[in-house]
Amino acid sequence: MPSPENSAPGPVDTTPVLTPSAAGSGRVDALVLLSFGGPESPDDVMPFLENVTRGRGIPRERLEEVAEHYYHLGGKSPLNSLNLQIIDNLRAELAASGRELPVFFANRNWAPYVEDVTAELAEQKIARAAVFATSAWGGYSGCGQYHEDIARARAAVGDAAPEMIKLGQFFSTERFISTFAAATRTQLDAAIEAGERPRLVFTAHSIPISADKAAGPDEESRGLYSRQVRSAAELVAAEAGVDDFDLVWQSRSGPPQVPWLEPDIVDHATSLAEAGETSLVVCPIGFISDHVEVVWDLDNELAEECESLGVTLRRAATPGDTTEFARMVLDLLAEVETGESPARLGEVPSYGCRANGVACGTACCALFGRG
Ligand SMILES: CC1=C(CCC(=O)O)c2cc3nc(cc4[nH]c(cc5[nH]c(cc1n2)c(C)c5CCC(=O)O)c(CCC(=O)O)c4C)C(CCC(=O)O)=C3C
Ligand SMILES: [Fe+2]
């Protein structure tokens, strides 16, 4: 069987592993959820995609193809409402703990733009804001680019800009892992109840191999993104009670001659079917909520392919809209405010907790993003 990665999980180490320069740096006056942004209507789709891909060398055909995915979903990305749901949950958890902390919504590629929200923070005389970026991972797309967003927004606002501290990467927090593990177990149980023998497959967003090689703040930490994804998959599998699984990638873009992380999930499903598998449980470990990569690339494209292959597909729920997820965000906030870190599992470190958009390492974000 073609099996890109079948390692059994090693012993779980619960020592907190973080090197945040901003940990324990005191109370903040606001929390900002900073995300990717998505179109709200069909007219937004092309301007949004132009924002996303400015200067990135994404072929026109790929853009048109991605635009079609958004049009199929009514021209509206599910992402903004999903993020607003996370914010609602955060407000509820803050209220329950008696903490009065305003929560703001900001995006890189669509309104409310992070530049405008930062101006709003300044207007409201907020001196220190914590920024929760909605990606669990290190590397340029998941982390470094959010640092760039913060730096750009603060520069646009000038001297009145608040101090802005990005919360740490969270792929290995106990709450993140256990929420995904429970969702995965639910699908495995459904398959077993239906008399199937499910194969567990983890999937995350592909990135260029050159970007993965550049990810990590120093020489020893390179390949950070794929190592973090692999570690999270191992941890979720272990907690779900599975010791044999695959890790694959999805949603690649860029020119075809540029190598990205492989295999692709659709190709992998085909190979599994050829090898006699008839039941797949897919855990979308790379994504916190049901945005386009999940509802289109998995629930639609992959589902169609599986149907034609005669393979039963079950997809685990993403954790974003759960109370546990909101609690995890508040754990990350506590890490900044008091220095007390949430439990983190496995052995691959989290970085990314820094003030004012200063990247953790010089090379981590540079190679892919800037040249
Ligand atoms: C690692 C990773 C995550 C996961 C971590 C995280 O969550 O951040 C992620 C999330 C997302 N990616 C998203 C959308 C897009 N990503 C694109 C392009 C790209 N993604 C990349 C990587 C990632 N992307 C890369 C290396 C590119 C190539 C060009 C570039 O470096 O920019 C493009 C351009 C068209 C295309 O080429 O596909 C779009 C429209 C949305 C919103 C979906 C919605 O609307 O629901 C979300 C949450
Ligand atoms: Fe993306």
Sign of CA dihedral 225, 226, 227, 230: positive
Q: What is the pTM of this model?
A: 0.92
Q: Is the pLDDT assigned to residue 18 strictly greater than 80? A: no
Q: pLDDT per residue over 327-355, tens digit each?
A: 999 999 999 999 899 999 999 999 988 88
Q: How far is CA 273 from CA 24, 93, 251, 308, in A?
A: 50, 44, 20, 10
Q: Go through the domains of the chain in sequence order and give each one's CATH number.
A: 30-171+322-370 (3.40.50.1400), 174-315 (3.40.50.1400)
> Is the separation of the CB atoms in 113 and 337 below 8 Å?
no
Q: What value of ipTM does the predicted structure carry?
A: 0.92
| Between 12 and 225, the higher pLDDT residue | 225
Q: Average pLDDT of 293-317?
A: 97
Annotated binding site for Fe-coproporphyrin III: 77, 146
Q: Is the pLDDT assigned to residue 11 strictly greater than 60? A: no
320 lines ligand 1 (CB under 6 A): no
Tell me, what's the pLDDT at 364?
62
Q: Is the pLDDT assigned to residue 326 strictly greater than 90? A: yes
Which distant-in-sequence residues (6+ apart) come within 8 Å of 332 by Cβ? 132, 167, 168, 170, 173, 342, 353
Confidence class of residue 19 from pLDDT cuts 50, 70 and 90? very low
- CA 15 / ligand 1 centre spacing (Å): 31
CA 364 to chain CA mean position, Å: 17
Confidence class of residue 25 from pLDDT cuts 50, 70 and 90? confident
226 lines ligand 1 (CB under 6 A): no
73 lines ligand 1 (CB under 6 A): no
- CA 228 / ligand 1 centre spacing (Å): 18
d(CA 79, CA 37): 7
Cα angle vertex 39, ends 33, 44, to 5°? Answer: 140
151: left (phi over 0), alpha (psi -120 to 50) or beta: alpha
284 lines ligand 1 (CB under 6 A): no
Query: 10 Å Cβ neighbour count for 230?
Result: 20
Q: Is the pLDDT assigned to residue 313 strictly greater than 70? A: yes
Q: pLDDT per residue over 177-220, tens digit each?
A: 999 999 999 999 999 999 999 999 999 999 999 999 989 888 88
Task: Dig out the tokens for 179 from the structure.
Answer: 């929420």
CA dihedral angle for residue 54, residue 56, residue 61, residue 65, rounded to 10 degrees:
-80
d(CA 279, CA 302): 13
Q: Which of 35, 36, 325 to mutate to test the pocket of ligand 1 (most atoms within 8 A of CB)?
A: 36
Q: Are strands 312-315 and 279-283 parallel, antiparallel or unpaired?
A: parallel
78 lines ligand 1 (CB under 6 A): yes
Confidence class of residue 168 from pLDDT cuts 50, 70 and 90? very high
Tell me, what's the pLDDT at 15?
29
209 lines ligand 1 (CB under 6 A): no
Q: Is the pLDDT assigned to residue 2 strictly greater than 70? A: no
Q: Is the pLDDT assigned to residue 31 strictly greater than 70? A: yes
Q: Average pLDDT of 302-310?
A: 98
- CA 65 / ligand 2 centre spacing (Å): 14
